[in-house]
Amino acid sequence: MTIFNTNNQKLEQSEMMQKENTQPEDQSILKELLAVIVFAFFGTGLMMYLDAVEKLLRFSRTLEIYEFDEIAVFLPSFLAIGFVLFSYRRIQKLEAEMIRRREVEKRLLKSEKLYKDLSITDDLTQLYNSRCFYNKLEEEIDRVMRYEQPLSLLLIDLDDFKKINDRYGHLKGDNVLKMAGGIIQNCIRKIDSAYRYGGEEFTVLLPGTEIEAAINVAERTRKGFEAQELSLITNETLNISVSIGAAQFKPGEEMEAFVKRTDDALYVAKQKGKNRVYSS
């Protein structure tokens, strides 16, 4: 959030500076145009003077006869040269401005993406957060109602996590939660999504998945935790187990009822001895 605000402040300052510099740039353009015109007339007069003197000596004509001819030849030429140079400088400035604006847009898009990622991601586990979970669950339920595809939900809870915090401290507990996020991510498909539901609880949405397949995913996740060892101190390791509740969405079921039914399944898994999967 701080990074996003800082970037926005920089962008606002950049836009303010641009507005403040608009008037000096306009004045600069007028000065350049004036310089082109003055240069054209000065150059034309100089060429008129030099050529007129030479031709007066050669052909004995009056200066007035050649004045118009000299202006007709030299003034447009110098004006053309001046405006070409002027246009070239304008094009260079426009290109520089376009490049600057593209860079500003890139920074703004990057800031917006960063803000969005921070708003839906749990900092500790790098999984999505609970707010994102409910938004995504609502979308998936709408999809189920439209296309009549199955949807299953897993609710995962770390067994005896409070004892880990009490015995080894919250820092080690945070390491366990980080490890848990990685294990869950490795056990699900790309179309599935994992969330930190709160504390030591996690949820997994399994679109297009019936309850039998969801139980297989849950068992794979449980075994992933069972096989993982976390080093604590010399010659000591910690084994983590999880209890998992699984449920498949029923057509017409309310979202809250679906989540509660999965939570009830998790509660039964806990009551039956933990480190197991129970489906509802």
Active-site residues, by number, are: 200
What span, in angstroms and rounded, lies between the C-alpha atoms of 280 and 265?
6
Length of the chain equals 280
User: Computed over its alpha carbons, how large is the radius of gyration of the chain?
Assistant: 38
- H or E segment and range at residue 210: none
For 123, 126, 175, 183, 238, the CA distances from 178, given in Å and listed in that order, are 10, 8, 5, 9, 14
User: How many whole angstroms separate alpha carbon 207 and alpha carbon 149?
Assistant: 8
Handedness of CA 130, 134, 135, 141 (dihedral sign): positive
* DSSP assignment string, 241-268: -EEEEEEEPPTT--HHHHHHHHHHHHHH
Strand partners, 207: 151
CB atoms within 10 A of CB 272: 11
DSSP summary character for residue 249: P
SS3 1: coil
Cα dihedral 106, 107, 112, 116 sign: positive
Measured between alpha carbons, how far is residue 26 from residues 11, 35, 131, 185, 204 in Å?
A: 23, 14, 50, 57, 59
